Amino acid sequence: MRLLLALGNPGAKYRDTRHNIGWWLADRLALRWGAEPFRPGGATDGATAWTTGSGRSGVEIHKPLTYMNRSGEALAALLAARPAAPRLDPAADILVLVDDVALPAGRFRVRKRGSPGGHNGLASISASLDSDEYGRLRLGVGQPPDDRIDLAAWVLSRMSRAEEEEAVGAFPRAAEAVEYWLDHGVEAAMNRFNRPG
Which residues have a catalytic role annotated?
Answer: 19
Residues with Cβ within 8 Å of residue 143, at least 6 apart in sequence: 101, 102, 154
Backbone φ and ψ for 137, nearest 5 degrees, come out as: -110, 105
Cα angle, residue 55 at apex, residues 14 and 25 outer, rounded to 5°: 30
Distances (CA, A) of 28 to 11, 79, 85: 18, 24, 30
